Amino acid sequence: MSQLLAKNGDIVHLADLKHLTVSAASAERPVTVHAVVTYADRDWGLLFVQDESAAAYVDFHNIDIQLKPGDVVDISGVSGAGGYAPQIDRPRIRFVRRGALPVPIEMNLFQRNMADADSSWCHLRGVVHTAREVDGRTILELGVGTSDVSITLPVPIHGEQLLDREVSATGVFGVVFNDRRQAIGHQIFVPSPQFLKVMDSPTAQPDPVTIISLQRYSPSTDERHSVTINGTVVLKSDENTIFIQDSTAGIQVRSAGPLNVADGDRVSVRGFATNGEYAPLLQHSIIISDARGKLPDPYSITAKSALDGHYDSEYVSMRANLTAVRSSPNGTLLVLNDNGTLFEAFGPASDTLNSLLPGSELEIRGICRVQVDRTRYSVGGFNLLFDSGRSVYTRAAIFSTGKAQGTAF
């Protein structure tokens, strides 16, 4: 253990707390630290403090003291394992005086050691993708390079006015983690609007572009900001996700909330391009339905042409022989064979599809999804997504009850 332990055995520097193992932190080691408050939210039980050695979270539930950023405090408590990093539990907090906030570290999500930065006072810039209010607080989603960062402010700020604006945020860096103590994302707790600054001027909604042009080389395009595309909905895969298609290509679109659109609708989409499995997709999108319509005719393709990659996210029709059916409460998986090439088609649960037997000749209409071999960065396979049994047609179906010809489910 570090020489920075006090003679009575208390941990007196946050760096020593943060270097405890899970088992050591769970042993409730005495902690006595002198630190500055960087973020406090009594209702959510959040308190972050920082000394000259490190920063840490303090369990602030049921603590009757008003604190604000810059307060210097003495804290006595015990170590706890926390959900991600060691923290201070059962604290007794004494206000000492007003002080100064630490110099923020510059966050670089590509190069920064996330464990080292956990709970630290930091500075970060990004473009606002979404804004919402939760329990009187403002939650902004920022695009920072290829990463997303959640920004939390303890007050409402009309965040919708910041959409697609570049902002500079100063606050406490937090790691989003799962129940296995594994980091799965990033967030920043910003104490007040004064620590959030707009860095650019508002811009008009961009002119529509074609799907095929997204993320192609263009020295005049700022890819951090939103794009607008127009197209036809060809599949709704869940309440927040659709696939749309224009005359040049297809694309997956993820919205910021539930969607009220149907297959065939003509829509206008404003969203943020990011990397998909094979081709770009749009996330944090706003979708406006312009008119009702009908599905376009699908491209008739083979497994061989699907493996070329040209039909990724497009509405296609494929014929193949059924090899197997696998069902679950979440849906139906068809294993298919087209002249020796095996592929899978996923759709909703269907008793009729489940009753098909191997050898049935089927035509499936749905979205072609290309899968990438990451070792070679080339097309490694594909599958189809369909949204109802009506997308599956039989050319020579074999059922467990007999044989039928030319059936549409």
Q: What is residue 352's predicted lDDT score, i.e. its pLDDT?
A: 86
Q: What is residue 4's predicted lDDT score, i.e. its pLDDT?
A: 40
Model-level pTM? 0.86
The residue among 28, 19, 23, 75 whose CA lies nearest residue 47 is 75
Please give the sequence-ordered ranges of beta strands (E in DSSP) within 296-391, or none if there are none: 299-300, 315-328, 331-338, 341-347, 361-373, 378-385
Could you tell me how far CA 158 lies from the centroid of its own chain? 23
Distance CA 76, CA 223 (A): 48
Q: Are strands 299-300 and 315-328 parallel, antiparallel or unpaired?
A: parallel
128 three-state secondary structure: strand
Q: Which long-range contacts (CB under 8 A, 24 or more apart) does 10-15 make?
A: 10/76, 11/79, 13/51, 13/52, 13/53, 13/54, 14/49, 14/50, 14/51, 14/53, 14/54, 14/55, 14/56, 15/53, 15/54
Q: Provide the total of helices (H) and of strands (E) in the chain, helices listed first.
A: 5, 25
Report which secondary-structure segment, H or E, holds 134: strand 121-134
Q: What is residue 154's predicted lDDT score, i.e. its pLDDT?
A: 95
Spell out the domains of the chain, with CATH numbers in brackets.
Answer: 14-98 (2.40.50.200), 105-198 (2.40.50.140), 226-291 (2.40.50.200), 299-404 (2.40.50.140)
> pLDDT digit of tens for each residue in the chain (409 aa)?
333 444 467 899 999 999 999 999 999 999 999 999 999 999 999 999 999 999 999 999 999 999 999 999 999 999 999 999 999 999 999 999 999 999 999 988 766 677 889 999 999 999 999 999 999 999 999 999 888 999 999 999 999 999 999 999 999 999 999 999 999 999 999 999 999 999 988 777 789 999 999 999 988 888 899 999 999 999 999 999 999 999 999 999 999 889 999 999 999 999 999 999 999 999 999 999 999 999 999 999 999 999 999 999 999 999 999 999 998 888 999 999 999 999 999 999 888 898 889 999 999 999 999 999 877 678 889 999 999 888 999 877 666 655 454 555 5
Distance CA 269, CA 208 (A): 9
Q: What is residue 110's predicted lDDT score, i.e. its pLDDT?
A: 62
Residue partners of 112: CB distance under 8 A and separation at least 6: none
